[in-house]
């Protein structure tokens, strides 16, 4: 053989040997990398189960070092003992041979050449536990004899958590389905769902009862088939599809046995998650009985209206009679009182006997005149013909006038009177004359039905936007059954036999007058201790003009000092009294003008066109609320930086917190505290000026 050929052959053999060596090295490296992977626990044992190899992954998962377990324990010692016992029992039954709990139970299948992968709980060195999936393989020598076992485990915690969550979701879904079905079945209405073509897809028990058909019979059938007027029923489905919603659409259902039921049909469209139309959800309520009751109610209302009309006519006739009689009695009474007074002042003066008789005539005459006036007042009020002239009235002034009028009567009866000292006029919107009439009646009664040496205490207390006036006496008081009859006409509660004159009309008239002035009257009494009569009236502002507030904005522009820039406040408020108060407050600042709007829509429009420095916003506004208006203003670049102050009667802490979170500069509550209002307005103007400086 030529030398060159031998050389080439030898070189080829060397290259083959080199490649084989490299492959073996790579295979060994790959096996080493797999065995020492930190993601798998690889545990190798001898034939008896004693651990011989404990890789890096096993150390990481179980917390032991290899030195702590090798040649010392078996994998059964790091496994849940109860699970090992249970596995031994299960395998004994499955394979029909007794299997000892312990390592044998972990490797028995593998020792028989059966592929074995199972779940088991491993116990770490620190006692904590985790679920693992274990794959067991028997290691054999060249003669197929078992020389040990390889257990490769993975931490199954994440999968277990996912499975647990999935179970929860599945159970939640089943619960939701059960809950939804329960809602459908428990509804008193006949419910059904239909596809856009009007074919029924689901019903409840009430629909079965209404039609006399089973659920299976109904599903898949046309909706229109179960009504006396199929065309009208089909039109109902089409109407829902076009209008998205239908209410109180009347249909007559027809059951299999021919029974007809008038129903009120209410329906809406429903969609899937992708907003794709799925069909119509409808509810049909039996209104047969309701229609019968409505008819009965209509008949009763007609009868009631007739009775009411007759009663009103009778009451009006009575009032007209009393009014006429009162006027007719005045003429002769004027003559009686007039001539009696002439006789009293005649010259020569009357004798003592004549003077006593004249006094009796005058006393009875004046009492009769009071009675006539009270009857006339009551008749006019009950007939609805009483005309009031409400205006802003200073309660302090009226109270002083009443005090002067009743003081002589109190002095004569030996009753001490105490009136409040007013630190403010307390303006109320009432008929001045009628308010005095009510107060004098309460004061006169407190004096008349008091004890000698007793007291009458008058007090006033402001409650939000109302003021309460109380008149307390030290008289005998009233029992509960007497209080119940107190405001009945001509009922003097047993005083007829007493020495005090009276008709029992005064309190009735007072009650009606207070209510006509949008007030409330009441009484509290304790037998032996006295009574407290009270009235509540609405407070208002001191100044009112003839101008009627409208939805258009109003502008106030005080005279501006030289060199001072005019600032603008926009107030969005639908209550004229509140608006007038803010007008008066702003009027104190010559550097400011006020714009106003009666609703949020107009306020937003003015804010965009006038660009005020600060906006004052009520919360409960017609149309949209102050919160909605704030969001719109914040979304508009022209007004997004304008400070908006909330001013509302919603004074609960949670409402204040909600307002501040929504983005209001401050949240003020009614009634307005003037120093707080001025301070907040000044701060807001400062912030507005700084924002404008930064933007320019």
User: In DSSP terms, which residues pair with 523 in a beta bridge?
Assistant: 533
Tokens of 263: 């129903």
- Taking the CA atoms of residue 21, residue 22, residue 26 and residue 29 in that order, the dihedral angle to the nearest 10 degrees is 60
Widest Cα–Cα separation across the chain? 189
Q: What tens digit of pLDDT does each residue of 302-349 get?
A: 888 887 777 677 766 666 665 555 545 654 665 565 666 657 766 788
pLDDT band at 545 (very low <50, low <70, confident <90, very high): very low
Report d(CA 319, CA 381) in Å as an integer.
9
pLDDT band at 546 (very low <50, low <70, confident <90, very high): very low
Burial class (CB in 10 A: 0-12, 13-18, 19+), 451: middle
Residue 550 has pLDDT above 50, yes or no: no
DSSP string of 389-452?
--EEEEHHHHHHHHHHHHHHHHHHHT-EEE-PPPSS--EEEE-HHHHHHHHHHHHHHHHHTS-T
Q: What is the pLDDT of residue 5?
A: 47
**CB burial string 634-645: b at 16+ within 10 A, e below:** eeeeebeebbbb
Other beta carbons within 10 angstroms of residue 361's beta carbon come to 16
pLDDT band at 423 (very low <50, low <70, confident <90, very high): confident
Report d(CA 152, CA 22) in Å as an integer.
28
Question: How much of the chain, in percent, has pLDDT values that exceed 70?
Answer: 79
Burial class (CB in 10 A: 0-12, 13-18, 19+), 503: middle
Site of tokens 């002439």: 342
Q: What are the backbone dihedrals phi and psi of residue 357, each rounded to the nearest 5 degrees, phi first? A: -65, -40
Q: What is the pLDDT of residue 494?
A: 43
Residue 603 near residue 560 (C-beta atoms within 8 A): no
DSSP string of 51-98?
EEEE-HHHHHHH---HHHHTTT--GGGGB-HHHHHHHHHHHHHHHTS-
Q: What is the pLDDT of residue 173?
A: 80
DSSP string of 345-368?
T-SSPPPHHHHHHHHHHHHHHHHH
Mean pLDDT of 345-367: 76
Q: What is the mean pLDDT of the chain?
A: 81
275 or 320, which is more confident: 275
Q: What is the pLDDT of residue 29?
A: 57
Residue 71 near residue 53 (C-beta atoms within 8 A): no
Other beta carbons within 10 angstroms of residue 202's beta carbon come to 16
Residue 531 near residue 574 (C-beta atoms within 8 A): no
Report d(CA 506, CA 373) in Å as an integer.
10
Mean pLDDT of 507-535: 89
Residue 389 has pLDDT above 80, yes or no: no
Q: What are the backbone dihedrals phi and psi of residue 229, each rounded to the nearest 5 degrees, phi first? A: -120, 85
Tokens of 20: 């084989």
Q: What are the backbone dihedrals phi and psi of residue 200, each rounded to the nearest 5 degrees, phi first? A: -65, 135
Mean pLDDT of 467-495: 77
- Predicted TM-score (pTM) of the model is 0.35
Q: What tens digit of pLDDT does each residue of 599-632 get?
A: 888 899 999 888 999 999 998 888 889 999 999 9
Question: How much of the chain, in percent, has pLDDT values that exceed 90?
Answer: 27
Residue 458 near residue 419 (C-beta atoms within 8 A): yes
Residue 399 near residue 418 (C-beta atoms within 8 A): no
Q: What tens digit of pLDDT does each residue of 62-84 get?
A: 999 999 999 999 999 999 999 99
Q: What is the pLDDT of residue 156?
A: 83
* CA atoms lying within 13 Å on the CB side of residue 320: 6
Domains, the chain, in order of start with CATH, read: 36-155 (3.30.450.20), 187-286 (3.30.450.20), 312-382 (1.10.287), 391-538 (3.30.565.10), 565-695 (3.40.50.2300)
Residue 674 has pLDDT above 90, yes or no: no
Mean pLDDT of 662-683: 85
Q: How far apart are the first and last CA of the chain?
A: 102
225 secondary structure, DSSP code: G
Q: What is the pLDDT of residue 134?
A: 92
Q: What is the pLDDT of residue 535?
A: 93
């Amino acid at each position: 053989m030529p030398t060159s050929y031998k050389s080439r052959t030898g070189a080829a053999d060397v290259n083959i040997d080199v490649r084989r060596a490299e492959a073996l090295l790579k295979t060994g490296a790959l096996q080493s990398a797999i065995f020492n992977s930190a993601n798998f626990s690889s545990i190798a044992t001898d034939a008896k189960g004693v651990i011989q190899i404990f890789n890096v992954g096993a150390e990481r998962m179980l917390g032991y070092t290899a030195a702590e377990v090798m040649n010392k324990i078996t994998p059964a010692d790091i496994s849940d003992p109860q699970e090992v016992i249970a596995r031994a029992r299960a395998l004994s039954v499955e394979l029909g041979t007794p299997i000892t709990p312990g390592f044998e139970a972990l490797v028995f299948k593998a020792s028989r050449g059966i592929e074995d992968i199972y779940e088991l709980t491993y116990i770490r060195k620190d006692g904590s536990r985790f679920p693992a999936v274990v794959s067991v393989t028997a290691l054999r020598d060249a003669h197929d004899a078992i020389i040990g076992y390889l257990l490769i485990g993975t931490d199954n915690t994440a999968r277990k958590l996912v499975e647990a969550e999935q179970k929860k979701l599945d159970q939640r879904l089943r619960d939701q389905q059960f809950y939804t079905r329960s809602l459908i079945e428990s509804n008193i209405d006949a419910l059904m769902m239909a596809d856009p073509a009007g074919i029924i897809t689901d019903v409840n028990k009430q629909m079965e009862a209404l039609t006399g058909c089973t659920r299976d019979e109904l599903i898949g059938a046309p909706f229109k088939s179960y009504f006396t007027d199929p065309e009208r029923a089909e039109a109902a489905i089409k109407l829902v599809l076009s209008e998205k919603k239908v209410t109180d659409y009347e249909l007559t259902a027809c059951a299999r046995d021919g029974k007809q039921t008038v129903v009120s049909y209410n329906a809406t469209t429903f969609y899937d998650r992708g907003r794709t139309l799925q069909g119509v959800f409808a509810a049909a309520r039996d209104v047969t009985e309701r229609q019968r009751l409505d008819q009965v109610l209509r008949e009763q209302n007609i009868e009631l209206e007739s009775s009411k009309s007759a009663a009103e006519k009778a009451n009006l006739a009575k009032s007209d009679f009393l009014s006429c009689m009162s006027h007719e009695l005045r003429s002769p009474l004027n003559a009686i009182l007039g001539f009696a007074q002439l006789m009293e002042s005649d010259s020569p003066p009357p004798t003592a006997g004549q003077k006593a008789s004249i006094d009796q005539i005058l006393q009875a005459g004046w009492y009769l005149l009071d009675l006539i006036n009270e009857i006339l007042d009551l008749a006019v009020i009950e007939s609805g013909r009483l005309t009031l002239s409400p205006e802003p009235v200073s309660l302090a002034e009226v109270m002083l006038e009443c005090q002067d009028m009743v003081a002589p009567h109190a002095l004569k009866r030996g009753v001490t009177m105490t009136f409040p000292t007013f630190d403010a006029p307390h303006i109320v919107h009432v008929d001045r004359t009628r308010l005095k009439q009510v107060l004098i009646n309460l004061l006169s009664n407190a004096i008349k039905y008091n004890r000698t040496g007793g007291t009458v205490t008058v007090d006033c207390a402001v409650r939000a936007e109302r003021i309460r006036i109380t008149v307390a006496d030290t008289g005998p008081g009233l029992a509960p059954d007497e209080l119940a009859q107190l405001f009945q006409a001509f009922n003097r509660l047993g005083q007829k036999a007493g020495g005090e004159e009276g008709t029992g009309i005064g309190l009735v008239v007072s009650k009606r007058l207070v209510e006509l002035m949008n007030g409330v009257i009441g009484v509290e009494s304790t037998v032996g201790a006295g009574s407290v009569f009270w009235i509540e009236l609405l407070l208002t502002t001191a100044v009112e003009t003839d101008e009627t507030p409208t939805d258009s904005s109003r502008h106030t522009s005080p005279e501006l000092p030289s060199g001072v820039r005019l600032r603008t406040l926009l107030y969005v408020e639908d209550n004229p009294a509140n608006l007038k108060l803010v007008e008066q407050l702003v009027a104190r600042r010559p550097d400011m003008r006020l714009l106003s709007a009666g609703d949020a829509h107009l306020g937003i429009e003015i804010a965009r066109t006038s660009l005020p420095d600060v906006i004052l916003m009520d919360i409960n506004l017609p149309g949209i609320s102050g919160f909605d208006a704030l969001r719109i203003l914040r979304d508009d670049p022209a007004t997004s930086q304008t400070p908006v102050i909330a001013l509302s009667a919603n004074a609960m802490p949670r409402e204040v917190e909600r307002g501040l979170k929504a983005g209001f500069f401050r949240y003020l509550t009614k009634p307005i505290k003037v120093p707080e209002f001025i301070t907040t307005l000044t701060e807001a103007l400062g912030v507005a000026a700084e924002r404008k400086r930064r933007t320019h």
